[in-house]
């Protein structure tokens, strides 16, 4: 069995967006069926906004034939072939491991690709297009991706401003579950902050100068509570957390109005607007922790540097796992021999047990069971020794 039968053909993040869009698989089932008809023994499609890749196992079908499939399936011109990348054997193994670890992502170590890799193999299994080899390959990739993120801590190094805003709040309160959070502004960053707060268990109140936008968001996110914009100071004063993310050209949280409503409670305020929403003098009041966009950006830059510093560590993990997969693959060639050794060991143990029991006519049931266990143990030990020898010669 040749490991070079494992192959990948596709495009990645470095190909221009307008070209990536042309080869985005909309109907995975249809594509898998057609690829199987092409003669592929096993096939998995990984299709995301940054990559469209076909992983397959075949002794007969060449990468060029799969490239031609891309051209025909998506009705492309021949010159698109220059953008299609191919790898095979251990290079293909290393590639999917790197992808699952986030080493081939726009943001090193990002989480979304890991769930997409998992979804790809699950879909292939549903449609019976993934066999023993690709299932093992993708399962190992997902396991490695999880371990790389957990062991290095890269998953905790957030780059999203909205996510970091919530992390700052967590550092103030340790646990924000059940805390009252008030979000001003429902643009993209405001909505991301809302989602992160809800995920952490906060009780989220929102307000927006355009009230209809808050109503629309309520339909999508029923967990939120809507507050009329003119009542914002009343709710700010009674909140534990305030995140402001409007597009206003002036302060939307005025110092004097805030001070008048403020009751001295511990409150964490995060201003992720530019220009700023919250009068900076508010941060000087006792009990108030105020963070600005600069604080968040500084953390994002530090996190980015730390993520990049972890690339070498994760690459080492990838190399080690490629070696382990290679060892596993080589044992496939000796599987028939391993099965034969196990079968023979069972036959010998079973025959010897029957021979002894036929002679020991007065043996108790307990004695018979002990004899059976002892013979089986001896047979297994001898078989395992032979199997270990077979495996060591295969590597």
213-271 residue pLDDT tens: 999 999 999 999 999 999 999 999 999 999 999 999 899 999 999 999 999 999 999 99
**pLDDT recorded at residue 393:** 67
Residues 174-208 have pLDDT tens digits of 899 999 999 999 998 899 999 999 999 999 999 99
Question: Does residue 361 have a known ligand-binding role?
Answer: no
Res 344 pLDDT > 80:
no
Question: Does residue 131 have a known ligand-binding role?
Answer: no
Question: Does residue 95 have a known ligand-binding role?
Answer: no
Res 284 pLDDT > 80:
yes
Question: Does residue 123 have a known ligand-binding role?
Answer: no
User: Exactly one of 49, 88, 101, 268 is catalytic; which is it?
Assistant: 49
**pLDDT recorded at residue 364:** 87
Cα atoms in the Cβ-side hemisphere of radius 13 Å centred on 192: 14
Q: How far, rounded to the nearest angstrom, does the alpha carbon of residue 218 sit from its chain's CA centroid?
A: 29
Judge whether 144 and 100 are in contact, CB under 8 Å: yes
Backbone angles phi, psi at 7, to 5 degrees: -140, 160
pLDDT mean over 270-293: 94
In this prediction the pTM is 0.72
| For the chain, percent of residues with pLDDT exceeding 70 | 98
In words, the CATH class of domain 161-291 is alpha beta
Judge whether 176 and 193 are in contact, CB under 8 Å: no
Domain ranges for the chain: 3-156, 161-291, 337-376
Question: Does residue 292 have a known ligand-binding role?
Answer: no
Average pLDDT, the chain: 91
Res 334 pLDDT > 80:
no
Residue 279 CA: distances (Å) to CA of 229, 314, 362, 364: 18, 43, 96, 90
| For the chain, percent of residues with pLDDT exceeding 90 | 67
Cα atoms in the Cβ-side hemisphere of radius 13 Å centred on 227: 20
pLDDT mean over 349-367: 85
Domain at 3-156: CATH code: 3.30.460.30
**pLDDT confidence tier of residue 390, bands split at 50, 70 and 90:** low
Question: Does residue 220 have a known ligand-binding role?
Answer: no
**pLDDT recorded at residue 395:** 64
Judge whether 276 and 303 are in contact, CB under 8 Å: no
Give 27's DSSP letter: -
Judge whether 109 and 157 are in contact, CB under 8 Å: yes
Residues 144-183 have pLDDT tens digits of 999 999 999 998 887 888 888 888 898 889 899 999 999 9
Domains 3-156 and 161-291 in one fold: no
Question: Does residue 116 have a known ligand-binding role?
Answer: yes
Question: Does residue 153 have a known ligand-binding role?
Answer: no
**pLDDT confidence tier of residue 338, bands split at 50, 70 and 90:** confident
Question: What is d(CA 299, CA 163) in angstroms, rounded to the nearest whole number?
Answer: 11
Judge whether 148 and 173 are in contact, CB under 8 Å: no
Question: Does residue 98 have a known ligand-binding role?
Answer: no
Give 158's DSSP letter: -
Residues 101-141 have pLDDT tens digits of 999 988 888 888 999 999 999 999 999 999 999 999 999 99
Judge whether 291 and 165 are in contact, CB under 8 Å: yes
Question: Which are the contacts of 162, defined by CB distance < 8 A and separation ≥ 6?
Answer: 189, 190, 192, 193, 196, 245, 272
**pLDDT confidence tier of residue 384, bands split at 50, 70 and 90:** confident
Question: Does residue 186 have a known ligand-binding role?
Answer: yes
**pLDDT confidence tier of residue 394, bands split at 50, 70 and 90:** low
**pLDDT recorded at residue 143:** 97
Question: Does residue 268 have a known ligand-binding role?
Answer: no
101 catalytic? Reply is no
Question: Does residue 65 have a known ligand-binding role?
Answer: no
Question: Which are the contacts of 134, defined by CB distance < 8 A and separation ≥ 6?
Answer: 6, 42, 43, 44, 55, 56, 57, 121, 124
**pLDDT recorded at residue 73:** 95
């Amino acid at each position: 069995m040749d490991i070079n039968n494992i192959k990948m053909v596709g495009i990645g993040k470095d190909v221009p967006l307008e070209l990536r869009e042309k080869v985005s698989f909309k109907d995975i089932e249809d594509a898998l069926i057609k690829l199987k008809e092409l003669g592929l023994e096993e096939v998995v499609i990984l299709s995301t906004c940054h990559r469209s890749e076909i992983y397959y196992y075949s002794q007969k079908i060449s990468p060029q034939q799969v490239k031609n499939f891309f051209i025909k399936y998506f009705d492309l011109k021949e010159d698109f072939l220059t953008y299609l990348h191919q790898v095979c054997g251990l290079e293909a193994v290393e590639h999917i491991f790197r992808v699952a670890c986030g080493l081939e992502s726009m943001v090193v170590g990002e989480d979304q690709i890991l769930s997409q890799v998992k979804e790809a193999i699950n879909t292939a299994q549903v449609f019976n297009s993934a066999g023993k080899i690709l299932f093992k390959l993708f399962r190992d990739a997902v396991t490695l991706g999880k371990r790389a993120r957990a062991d290095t801590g890269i998953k905790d190094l957030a780059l999203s401003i909205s996510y970091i805003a919530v992390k700052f709040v967590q550092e103030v309160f340790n646990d924000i579950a059940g805390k009252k959070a008030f979000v001003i502004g429902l643009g993209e960053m405001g909505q991301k902050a809302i989602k992160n707060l809800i995920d952490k268990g906060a009780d989220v109140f929102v307000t927006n100068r355009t009230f209809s936008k808050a109503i629309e968001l309520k339909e999508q996110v029923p967990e939120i509570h809507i507050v009329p914009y003119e009542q914002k100071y009343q709710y700010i004063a009674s909140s534990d957390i305030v995140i402001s993310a409007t597009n206003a050209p002036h302060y939307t949280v005025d110092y004097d109005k805030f001070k008048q409503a403020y009751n001295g409670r511990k409150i964490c305020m995060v201003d992720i607007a530019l220009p700023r929403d919250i009068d900076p003098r508010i941060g000087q009041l006792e009990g108030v922790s105020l963070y600005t966009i600069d604080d968040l950006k500084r953390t994002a830059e530090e996190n980015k540097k730390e993520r990049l510093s972890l690339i070498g560590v994760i690459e080492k993990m990838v190399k080690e796992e490629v070696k382990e997969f290679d060892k596993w693959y080589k044992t496939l060639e000796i599987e028939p021999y391993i099965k034969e050794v196990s079968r023979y060991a069972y036959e010998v143990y079973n025959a010897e047990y029957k021979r002894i029991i036929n002679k020991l006519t007065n043996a108790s049931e307990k004695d018979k069971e002990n004899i059976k266990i002892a013979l089986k143990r001896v047979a297994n030990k001898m078989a395992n020794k032979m199997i270990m020898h077979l495996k060591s010669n295969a590597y």
